[in-house]
Each structure stands twice: as C-alpha cells, then as structure tokens.
Amino acid sequence: MSDLLNSMTAAASGMDAQATRLRMVSENIANADTPGFRRKTISFEEVHAQGDARAVATGRIHLDQTELERVLDPSHPMAGADGFYDGSNVDLMVEIADAREAGRSYEANLRMFDQTRRMVGSLFELLNR
C-alpha cells in the first residue's frame, strides 16, 4: 500500500517536473524575438523524498550561454553603429521538439498515476465487500 502511495508521489513529481519544463519552453518561445534574451534550460534530478519515496525534481534554471543571434536591422532602436543588434538565442525548432518530448513524458506519468490509482481503487473495493 505504501508502495502504491510512493508510486503516486513519483508520478505526481514527474508531471510537475515536466510541466515546469513545458513552462520554460513556453517562455523561450514567447521571447524568441526579445533582443538579448537567452533561452532558459532546466535540469532534472532524481531525489529521495521523505524516507522511502523516490521522485524527480527540477534543478536550477540555466541560461543558455551560446552566442546570441546577430540581427541586421539599422532601423532598430537597439542597433549599434554597424546596424546589427543582439537577438535571442532561441531556436524555435529545438523548443518545439522539447515541448513535444515534455508532453509525451507528461502523458506517460499521467498514465502511470492513473494506473496506480486504479490499483488502489481495486484494493479498496476488495476491502469494502
């Protein structure tokens, strides 16, 4: 029984982590055209929550330090003397792929949560006969 509860904790933490990741992706996409914006990435870590329960948690947010895109637009208010300004280093294709993966993992966690819930349900059903 406590195994099943631990299982639900793990699944919930997985959904939470994937949701956080999805939020980062949304922020990156929203700021794809913001000058000087560095894309945010987040790491996942395995954690041992209280006692037996194991789960996943998100680590610190990192700013991608790859070079910012140089955009040529002399009319832009932030353009330098050479007519270039620093764009963001967000690659939409990468973000979309990341979002897809996060969505898929979220769904997998949800499925495991639902299955655990059903298993607990059938246990209780047996008790209530």
Partner 1 sequence: MESSITVLDMARSLARHSATRQALITDNVANADTPGFKAQDIKPFAEIYRAPGGEAPRTSFVPAATRAGHTGGGAQASGMAGLPGMEVLQRTKVGAPSANGNTVSLEDQMARGAEIKLHHDMALGIMRKSMDILRATLGRRG
Which region among 31-39, 61-69, 82-90, 116-124 touches partner 1 (by CB under 8 A)? 116-124
Does 43 contact partner 1 by CB under 8 A?
A: yes
Does 77 contact partner 1 by CB under 8 A?
A: no
Does 60 contact partner 1 by CB under 8 A?
A: no
- The values of phi and psi at residue 28, to 5°, are -60, -45
Q: What is the DSSP string of 72-95?
A: E-TTSTT--TTSEEE-----HHHH
Minimum CB distance to partner 1, residue 23 (Å): 15
Minimum CB distance to partner 1, residue 105 (Å): 5
CA neighbor of 32 nearest in space, from 90, 102, 103: 90
